[in-house]
Chain A
Amino acid sequence: MIGFVGLSHLGIITSVSGASKGFKVIGFDPNALLCGELTEGKLPIYEPQLDELLAKHNANIRFTADISQLHQCRLIIFSIDIKTDESNHSDLSVLESLIDAVLKVISHDTTLVILSQVPPGFSRRLYHRLKDELQKKNARLYYQVETLIFGRAVERALHPERYIVGCYDPSESLPDTYLHFLESFQCPILAMRYESAELAKISINCCLVASVSAANTLAEICENVGADWAEIVPALRLDKRIGDFAYLEPGLGIAGGNLERDLVTIIRLSNEFGTDSGVVDSWVSNSAYRKDWVFRKLHETILSKYQDPQLAVWGLTYKADTKSIKNSPSLVLLKNLMGIFVKAYDPQAMLESSAFPHVTQVLTPLEACKGSKVLVIMTPWSEFKSIDPVEIKNNLDGDLIIDPYKTLNAQQCKKAGLNYLTLGRPMEFTNGFTS
């Protein structure tokens, strides 16, 4: 029996994927209401394939708010979401309290695994704090790197690239129960000391941010010199040092919370140990700057030309296939547009109307376009791709689309009589000119 503590986005995904491998799973969360809903198959999160996966394997999984149930588990995985404050600093107190509570109910020879996101040094400090109790129960403590990606979480959980496991002593073999669980996913298992695993997670994210920041910086140059970043990217992908899967799509800054937290952690560690984090500071600064790309373009094209224009915004979430709006560029844009009337549409997310009194959320994408001077597509939801640009043109009271993620086809937009503005290349006008 495997226990999951904390039915966060991460906890739900990993517990259901464990059940799908045939393991008997207990999903524990102090929130009884949440456990009740999950038992009824009601998911508080949206991830492609998750509904089906839970329905198919629900016989293997039990959700409970009764912590004593964890007594039956030989492997317990802590999967609570670590909350961050406005400055992206982690609050680890909830995790520590839960671990303390769980330790009181576990059986002998249980393996404890922290899957939640913790900073370097946390696991060893925790080990030393709990050493006596762990030894009394012959329990072992590990840290495992999570690589959840919102919108692709099920696929990534079922087919992980590798497991990174942080150990007190990596020369010791992993307990059989834990090893058996990990091996069922048929991927490489990399065991290393706690600190290396904790920093490995941050290292992965830093490399991703470095790629994205380089792409953003160069895409902006493209917009000004007449180059098209989309033409350059294939050349980069064929370079083995960069590769097929590199993060080279320009975007509107880092969002979602996880990458930001890791950057804050690196800056904190760097300040503490007196190492140079100038490049990380630049990534943070570039991310903030990119978040306002659409706002700057709106100012150049619409706000500086029309009195009280109405705007249409499609997409509120920080990426497609998620309900999460944490650090979403769309919300940053809407805050900057305070006082300007906006009609917004999103397939999943709802805005708190009191925080955005100037925004009316509508039920269809085309309804948002009606009477608007410009359409801005802030999240590349796939349902937007099927909308005919001619329909958009017919509903708009203007002829401009700002589509940073190339959700729509630029040529079709131009054919429909729409001027098209996207990241990484100059504005394309219907008359064939570029800005």
Chain B
Amino acid sequence: MASHLNNNPVKPSRVVLIGAYGFLGRKLIDHLNSQQIEYLPIDLPEVDLTAPTSVEKFLEVIKPEDSVIFTSALTPDKGKDRGAMLKNIAMMNHFCQFLENGRCSYIVYLSTDAVYGAENRLLRETSPCLPDSLYGFGHLIREEMLRPVAKQREIPLVVLRSNAMYGVGDTHNGYGPNRFLRSALQERKISLFGKGEERRCHIYVGDVVNLIGLCLAKKTEGVLNLTSGASISFMDLAGKISALVDNEIDIQTSRRQNPITHINFDPTEIYKAFPNFWFTSLDDGLKSMIANGFFQ
């Protein structure tokens, strides 16, 4: 559930981008440049967010009038274990320590739909969070760490729980559009778990960037799932990619190890928050990736 503090869009005076050099961070920089919004990038190698010294850095550079976008996290491809989760929690711990002593005017926190867990149910912002991975738990803990500090410091906060992102420049290689496209182009094959029956929602990175831009402008508060609501099975996704790359792609199935779980999202709240927002269709998103030639 979300509401806007600004009835009309207002350009932020400056944006601090924590996690500026990741897949999403780089896209956000492009967006902020195109909108002529001043920004301050914070990320490795200059600042190690997992180190306590990052608190000092935040205190030094973040001004009370800044809007902060926090996207920094170790994604599952960089580790799904306790160590990765604890590092993710440490990053948020340091940001919260900064907030207890410093100040900013607005926070956009990029969370993940993994906080809900993989269950056969229609998910919406009010659904119980039952993560089934340490990655999901880590993000849920980060949300719960951040929310009370922001509230106590009276700093508006929006938590954006994003579907799995895809798009040019993605290095994560997660099971989905990026890996399938890369594999189709480089190896002429797509490997599926089971027969790829599971349905999932995917979101184009450009849509995430634009939605974050809208949140910044309207100073949106609350929780929103970043989802178009459109889901597709991995088999259909593989077929779509195969047709798009114009090759005879070998779609390989395997013996199923786990029961089929479909994860669908109700997009009503994001529609309500931004009634005129147009989501990029999966077809258009994939075409844009191919046209960009990133994987060639």
Q: Would A303 and B272 be within 8 Å (CB), given that A289-B266, A296-B267 are in contact? A: no
Smallest CB separation, A218 vs chain B (Å): 15
Q: In the complex the two chains form, what is the Cα distance from A304 to B271 in whole Å?
A: 9
B64 on the interface (CB 8 Å rule)? no
B275 on the interface (CB 8 Å rule)? yes
A307 near B276 (CB under 8 angstroms)?
Answer: yes
Smallest CB separation, B200 vs chain A (Å): 17
A299 near B271 (CB under 8 angstroms)?
Answer: yes
B229-245 vs A: 1/0 string, CB under 8 Å? 10000000000000000
A340 near B275 (CB under 8 angstroms)?
Answer: yes
A303 near B276 (CB under 8 angstroms)?
Answer: yes
Q: In the complex the two chains form, what is the Cα distance from A296 to B272 in whole Å?
A: 9
Smallest CB separation, A220 vs chain B (Å): 10
A81 on the interface (CB 8 Å rule)? no
B183 on the interface (CB 8 Å rule)? no
A295 on the interface (CB 8 Å rule)? yes
Question: Chain A residues with Cβ under 8 A from B276's Cβ?
Answer: 303, 307-308, 340
B271 near A296 (CB under 8 angstroms)?
Answer: yes
Q: In the complex the two chains form, what is the Cα distance from A313 to B229 in whole Å?
A: 25
Question: Chain B residues with Cβ under 8 A from A44's Cβ?
Answer: none
Question: Chain A residues with Cβ under 8 A from B268's Cβ?
Answer: 289, 292, 295-296
Question: Chain B residues with Cβ under 8 A from A296's Cβ?
Answer: 229, 267-268, 271
A98 on the interface (CB 8 Å rule)? no
Smallest CB separation, B284 vs chain A (Å): 12
Question: Chain B residues with Cβ under 8 A from A337's Cβ?
Answer: 275
B279 on the interface (CB 8 Å rule)? yes
Question: Chain A residues with Cβ under 8 A from B279's Cβ?
Answer: 304
Question: Chain A residues with Cβ under 8 A from B271's Cβ?
Answer: 295-296, 299, 303, 336
Give the A-B pair count, Cβ closer than 8 A: 30
Question: Chain B residues with Cβ under 8 A from A308's Cβ?
Answer: 276
Tell me the chain A residues, 278-325 only, with Cβ under 8 Å from chain B: 289, 292, 295-296, 299, 303-305, 307-308
B275 near A299 (CB under 8 angstroms)?
Answer: yes
Q: In the complex the two chains form, what is the Cα distance from A303 to B272 in whole Å?
A: 11
**Chain A interfacial residues counted at CB < 8 A:** 14
Tell me the chain B residues, 264-291 only, with Cβ under 8 Å from chain A: 266-268, 271-272, 275-279
Smallest CB separation, B285 vs chain A (Å): 15
**Chain B interfacial residues counted at CB < 8 A:** 11
B278 near A304 (CB under 8 angstroms)?
Answer: yes
Nearest opposing residue in chain A for B278, CB measure: A304
Question: Chain A residues with Cβ under 8 A from B266's Cβ?
Answer: 289
Smallest CB separation, B148 vs chain A (Å): 25
Question: Chain B residues with Cβ under 8 A from A340's Cβ?
Answer: 275-276
Smallest CB separation, B229 vs chain A (Å): 8
Q: In the complex the two chains form, what is the Cα distance from A280 to B229 in whole Å?
A: 26
Which of B229, B268, B279 has the most CB atoms of chain A within a 10 A radius of its CB? Answer: B268
Nearest opposing residue in chain A for B268, CB measure: A292
A48 on the interface (CB 8 Å rule)? no
B275 near A303 (CB under 8 angstroms)?
Answer: yes
Question: Chain A residues with Cβ under 8 A from B277's Cβ?
Answer: 304
Smallest CB separation, A304 vs chain B (Å): 5
Question: Chain B residues with Cβ under 8 A from A339's Cβ?
Answer: 275
Smallest CB separation, B251 vs chain A (Å): 25
Nearest opposing residue in chain B for A338, CB measure: B275
Q: In the complex the two chains form, what is the Cα distance from A296 to B268 in whole Å?
A: 6
Tell me the chain B residues, 83-136 only, with Cβ under 8 Å from chain A: none
Question: Chain A residues with Cβ under 8 A from B229's Cβ?
Answer: 296
B278 near A336 (CB under 8 angstroms)?
Answer: no
Q: In the complex the two chains form, what is the Cα distance from A339 to B277 in whole Å?
A: 13
Question: Chain B residues with Cβ under 8 A from A307's Cβ?
Answer: 276
Nearest opposing residue in chain B for A296, CB measure: B268
Q: In the complex the two chains form, what is the Cα distance from A296 to B278 in whole Å?
A: 13
Q: In the complex the two chains form, what is the Cα distance from A340 to B275 in whole Å?
A: 9
Which of A292, A299, A304 has the most CB atoms of chain B within a 10 A radius of its CB? Answer: A299
Q: In the complex the two chains form, what is the Cα distance from A336 to B277 in whole Å?
A: 14
Which of B266, B276, B278, B279 has the most CB atoms of chain A within a 10 A radius of its CB? Answer: B276
Which of B229, B275, B277 has the most CB atoms of chain A within a 10 A radius of its CB? Answer: B275
Nearest opposing residue in chain B for A305, CB measure: B278
Nearest opposing residue in chain A for B269, CB measure: A292
Q: In the complex the two chains form, what is the Cα distance from A308 to B278 in whole Å?
A: 13
Smallest CB separation, A216 vs chain B (Å): 13
Question: Chain A residues with Cβ under 8 A from B267's Cβ?
Answer: 296, 299
Smallest CB separation, A292 vs chain B (Å): 5
Smallest CB separation, A284 vs chain B (Å): 11
Question: Chain B residues with Cβ under 8 A from A292's Cβ?
Answer: 268, 272
Nearest opposing residue in chain B for A336, CB measure: B272
Q: In the complex the two chains form, what is the Cα distance from A289 to B272 in whole Å?
A: 13
Nearest opposing residue in chain B for A285, CB measure: B126
Q: In the complex the two chains form, what is the Cα distance from A307 to B276 in whole Å?
A: 7
Q: In the complex the two chains form, what is the Cα distance from A292 to B267 in whole Å?
A: 10
Smallest CB separation, B54 vs chain A (Å): 40
Smallest CB separation, A62 vs chain B (Å): 50
Q: In the complex the two chains form, what is the Cα distance from A295 to B268 in whole Å?
A: 8
Smallest CB separation, A285 vs chain B (Å): 8
Question: Chain B residues with Cβ under 8 A from A299's Cβ?
Answer: 267, 271, 275
Pairs across A and B, CB under 8 Å, 27 listed = A289-B266, A289-B268, A292-B268, A292-B272, A295-B268, A295-B271, A295-B272, A296-B229, A296-B267, A296-B268, A296-B271, A299-B267, A299-B271, A303-B271, A303-B275, A303-B276, A304-B277, A304-B278, A304-B279, A305-B278, A307-B276, A336-B271, A336-B272, A337-B275, A339-B275, A340-B275, A340-B276
Binding site for B on A (CB under 8 A): 289, 292, 295-296, 299, 303-305, 307-308, 336-337, 339-340
Known pairs A296-B271, A299-B267, A340-B276 / 11 extra A-B pairs, C-beta < 8 Å: A292-B272, A295-B271, A295-B272, A296-B229, A296-B267, A299-B271, A303-B275, A304-B279, A307-B276, A336-B272, A337-B275
5 shortest A-B CB distances, which residue pairs? A299-B271, A292-B268, A304-B278, A336-B272, A303-B275
